[in-house]
A = this chain, B = another copy of it.
Amino acid sequence: MQKSKRRRKDPILQALGHAIRERRLELGLSQEMLGQTAELHRTYITDVEGGARNISFLTLLKLAEALKCSLTYLMIKIEEATK
């Protein structure tokens, strides 16, 4: 149903997904636990981590809050991964 929101995997979305996954694992959270805190479905987390979602800014913010990290932290991780 939400296929229009899925994208061909973009390197920057993949780098974002990787940074989110890495941070989640650092905190010892499952995708389900992160989803509950951020009020997002577990499968949405799976998609974001896989770089399959062009996430909106406010949803990204919710995820950063649930991951107890700043947006700047995530952007630095992306830039490190894609430079």
List A residues at the B interface (Cβ < 8 Å): 7, 10, 12-13, 16, 54-58, 60-61, 70-72, 75-76, 78-79
Contact = CB atoms under 8 A, between A and B. Distances in A.
Q: Please tell me how many copies of the chain the complex holds.
A: 2
Contact of A76 (B54, B61, B72): B72
A54 B56 contact: yes
Nearest to A76: B72
Contacts of A76: 72
Contacts of A7: 58
Contacts of A75: 70-72, 75
Contact of A54 (B16, B57, B71): B57
Contacts of A79: 70-72
Contacts of A60: 57
